[in-house]
Structure 1
């Protein structure tokens, strides 16, 4: 699995991954009615942020990540990141590889910590992965995410020092 910077040529493979995750509506608070242009604008980071892709040996994009400063100005020393993995690639280490690479990128950029602002508490595989990678839940906003089958569930704020 190669993790590399996203290029515009990757969009045709990244867009269906994003569309599937957003349409499922169980892990991201993105609007399923957004047109592809809006989804691209929201996902593809501009500097100082970065967007990356996880690519299989055959050139197939299996996942994508976006990362950058969590906040501007006085909060810019803390990074944030988001990850999406193709449905047929889940459970194969793609999310872990993307997250580890995002942590390495944040360290190289001089960030002091990484914070995830809205991890859906019912996304147990992501929560478990982030915990294994050293993140802690520092708070949960109750009933702040409308899950399509479980109703209103909490959003975790997760953090780790770099």
Structure 2
């Protein structure tokens, strides 16, 4: 489960009664402001991918990133749908479970100001990090969606990762 940076949406991942993976985004703005009900604004169901971690992008509204068994995917909320695009992982995909996601933040712990951020500019300092079951940490360029660096850090799975513009901290079992 994850809230978007403006607390308008919450994204949920789980399985449906048929055992298929389901990603759902709810608009919770009426709950927060007027005590109303949450409304499903988009849903995607598939047996072809697995989700263990999901986060909203701090840089682009209505954009999500998920990771799980053999996949890292970018999603966008558009017209009631959630079109997704897989990150090209090449040989890193086989038998690899991706476990956690972090976006590079400022030293104050906040994401870079999305209102001042343009993807066509300043792309060199906007990274995301994804840990996996092999103890590796992948640094991914957010705009070009490519794996820039793979660091072998632990003998066991990375279970959590947190990033600032100065360093990255991760935890392993």
Superposed pair shares fold, TM > 0.5: no
Structure whose residues are more often helix by fraction: 1
Relative contact order (alpha carbons < 8 A, sep ≥ 6): 1 or 2 greater? 1
* Pair member with larger Rg: 2
Calculate the TM-score normalised by the size of structure 1.
Answer: 0.28
Calculate the TM-score normalised by the size of structure 2.
Answer: 0.27
Structure whose residues are more often strand by fraction: 2
